[in-house]
Structure 1
Amino acid sequence: MTDRWECGSSFPLILPTGGTPTPLPEHRLYGSGRQALRALIEHGRREYGWTLLHVPAYYCPEVVESVVDLLPLRRYDATPVGPPPPPPPTRPGEVLLTVSYFGQAPTMPTTPAHVIVDATHDPVAEWAGGADFVFASLRKTLPLPDGGIVWSPTGRPLPPAAPPDPEHLATAGRALTAMALKSAYLAGESVDKSRYLELFGTAETGLRSRTVSDISDYSREALRVLPMAELRRRRTRNGARLATRLVGLPGVSVHAHTFGVLLEFTRPEPRDRVRHGLIQRDIYPAMLWTLPPETTPPRLLDLSRRLLYLHTDVRWSDEDMDRAAAALRELCRPPGEHAPSAPRPIAARTPAPARS
């Protein structure tokens, strides 16, 4: 049978078990993380009189675009690598959005402000206690076709629930179909890979809708049984193993996080060359994010062109992480240099405890 191994990219249809379902705080579910943020900002305008949204200059442009019609925006300096600059001061009526980059604790303001945390990269971490509201896209860390969540660590009233939108449910159905076809393809069945990739692309386009919807039935029920804390532990363990095997990678700083492994190249050109080489080897890294040049400070734009993210979630074993590491070492090896011996394994670090 043809080797259909891959690392990265979208989840296939799986429902991992092997742990206790993770209890969540009182929350509200929506069709996507972007929809959750829209519902939250509309709620803040009504209940708190929000008039301005501060957003990090280093942030997903699609998320920013999804709310640009709701409030005036002001970008502030922020970085996923190195010491974070302090958030800007805020005035009454303003709200500050901060981000957990790759699962790191977000930078919180020292001045009184309404604070929203984007916890997409680690929804079950413990660090969100000082925020007014937290939201996350669930399908980045969980095998779900759709889903966004909002909760308030400080006990503030949540935005109202949204009715199911037929167009959104159709989009979630396309994503679920793509996930099922991908599972069959990876299992060796006669499935046209281009078909499920097309469905994933169509679903991604549908999720850009600004209509706020309820989550799909499948994702709601799957969320009840998924052991989110255990999946986080396994993701973190895989990340620690991969990072250990990349120690000393020439021209690259390796950052292990609870979301995965972040590679920081010294220049954009090696990053692009390595990315294309990984894709040829069926390893699909992500660029988080491709930022707009017209609104991004040059320093952050340069950083965005040097970063590459590697998935380490529950889909992969120790051997898979070793295979990905070997591919990276080969691609980063200077021309003419012989392949070095693999480094001795180092015990994976113990992840921070998940929120109960």
Structure 2
Amino acid sequence: MYSEKGQSKFLDHQDDLNLFFSGRAAIYNLLKLGISKYGWKKVGFPSYYCHEVVEFCRELDIEIEYYPYNPVEDNLIDWDDKEGTVLVTVNFFGIKKANTDSLKNAVIIEDVTHDLLSIGESSADYFFGSLRKQLPIGVGGFCKLKKNETFVDVCETLEAHETYQKKNVAMFLKSDYLKDNLESNILYRQYYEEAEEMFENHLTNSVMPQQAVSQLQTLPIEDFITTTKENISLGIRQLRPTNAYRILNNDNGFCLVLYCETNEIRNSLRKYLIDHKIFPAILWPHQIFEKDKDLQNKILCIHMDFRYSHEEVIYIADRINKYFENV
């Protein structure tokens, strides 16, 4: 889809790497290709997942099911292993994924959003993901096809271009707010929320806007990811053990992942951190099944990526330690 070579080993896959507006646009078009070319009939997504991605694919002519799996449960894959079926697996947080060795007939698609550099390191048939979790870019997704496979009916849309521009403004305003250059976060949140709503709109079923492609090709992707892992490792070393939570990372991942003992502890910790201008994420809200709701209600993802200095990482870890000293 794009012939320019980037500075990154990740982009060295570009001969068979297709860049899209979002990760959900990437998996949508991959499934669409499989339906038309190979007759795919049914696709399974893990029960613990970003369900907005699944909803984006609902209009495709394929049966969609959930199979029970989340990263704190030792689930065995229960799937109808037949020709024409597809299983989407996830490299959760860059630290755990399902074992699919028992499947011999289903097509395996791996979501590597949380570990971009793992493309090609497993036996999956296809790979896709979002670029926004690990890189400082407002839009972007990708799909790695097999040799001689190609998408022929996807182009850049005006809505995708405009959403990219709006996300850039939102990211700039948020940066100014965090530097205390803006008194209020209302404006950046308005731009951010308006742009995020467009990710659910099929008008953004688009290739990656060319301006975003140019931006991506300037990013030192491996350096960013290496620095993020170093920061997470530092953060883990700074944390003092407590029975109130456990760390899911093993010096890896795209953020520090805490699994709290109760929902009340998670919510209280989250509020405390926000009060100190530390903004953790919940991955993912709006779960459907009870076990996954339990995980959603106890997990907290704390950013310690390449944007943070060692001093800032230590500050975040110290804040977590101080919170648990007083509970």
TM-score by length of 2: 0.89
Per the alignment, residue 43 of structure 1 pairs with: 33
State the Cα distance separating 1:312 from its structure 2 match.
1.5
Identity %: 27
CA distance in 2: counterparts of 1:124 and 1:99, whole angstroms: 14
State the Cα distance separating 1:328 from its structure 2 match.
1.0
| The 10-residue stretch of structure 1 (56-65 or 325-334) with the greater mean CA deviation from structure 2 | 325-334
Matching of residue 244 in structure 1 with residue 237 in structure 2: yes
1:183–1:268: structure 2 CA closer, same or farther, 3 Å change rule?
A: closer
Matching of residue 168 in structure 1 with residue 153 in structure 2: no
CA distance in 1: counterparts of 2:302 and 2:269, whole angstroms: 12
State the Cα distance separating 1:300 from its structure 2 match.
2.5
Partner of residue 269 from structure 1, selected from 249, 264, 289:
264
CA distance in 2: counterparts of 1:138 and 1:241, whole angstroms: 24
Tell me, yes or no, if the aligned pair for 2:71 and 2:97 is still in contact at 8 Å: no
Per the alignment, residue 60 of structure 1 pairs with: 50
Per the alignment, residue 284 of structure 1 pairs with: 279
| The 10-residue stretch of structure 1 (52-61 or 87-96) with the greater mean CA deviation from structure 2 | 87-96
Matching of residue 32 in structure 1 with residue 25 in structure 2: no
Partner of residue 86 from structure 2, selected from 91, 95, 115:
95
CA distance in 1: counterparts of 2:150 and 2:182, whole angstroms: 46
**Cα shift readout 1:266-302 (whole Å, capped 9, x = no counterpart):** 111111111111111111111111233xx41x22321
State the Cα distance separating 1:63 from its structure 2 match.
1.1
Matching of residue 233 in structure 1 with residue 226 in structure 2: yes
1:308–1:186: structure 2 CA closer, same or farther, 3 Å change rule?
A: closer
**Cα shift readout 1:40-72 (whole Å, capped 9, x = no counterpart):** 111110011111111101111111111122222
CA distance in 1: counterparts of 2:179 and 2:281, whole angstroms: 24
Per the alignment, residue 304 of structure 1 pairs with: 296
CA distance in 1: counterparts of 2:153 and 2:286, whole angstroms: 32
Structure 1 residue runs of 4+, over 6 Å off?
none
CA distance in 1: counterparts of 2:148 and 2:325, whole angstroms: 52
Could you tell me which runs of 5 or more consecutive residues in structure 2 were left unpaired when the two chains were aligned: 1-6
| The 10-residue stretch of structure 1 (84-93 or 224-233) with the greater mean CA deviation from structure 2 | 84-93
1:184–1:290: structure 2 CA closer, same or farther, 3 Å change rule?
A: closer
State the Cα distance separating 1:261 from its structure 2 match.
1.1
RMSD: 2.1
**Cα shift readout 1:189-208 (whole Å, capped 9, x = no counterpart):** 45753111110111000111
Paired residue secondary structure (2:239): coil
Tell me, yes or no, if the aligned pair for 1:87 and 1:108 is still in contact at 8 Å: no
Partner of residue 314 from structure 1, selected from 306, 309, 318:
306
**Cα shift readout 1:222-250 (whole Å, capped 9, x = no counterpart):** 21121111111111111111111124033
Per the alignment, residue 133 of structure 2 pairs with: 140
| The 10-residue stretch of structure 1 (267-276 or 299-308) with the greater mean CA deviation from structure 2 | 299-308
TM-score by length of 1: 0.82
CA distance in 1: counterparts of 2:182 and 2:274, whole angstroms: 22
Opposite residue 81 of structure 1, the aligned amino acid is: V
Opposite residue 24 of structure 2, the aligned amino acid is: R
State the Cα distance separating 1:156 from its structure 2 match.
6.2
Tell me, yes or no, if the aligned pair for 2:133 and 2:254 is still in contact at 8 Å: no
Aligned residues: 313
Tell me, yes or no, if the aligned pair for 2:115 and 2:253 is still in contact at 8 Å: yes
Paired residue secondary structure (2:48): coil
Per the alignment, residue 260 of structure 1 pairs with: 255
Tell me, yes or no, if the aligned pair for 1:185 and 1:191 is still in contact at 8 Å: yes
User: Which structure has the higher relative contact order (CA within 8 Å, separation 6+)?
Assistant: 1
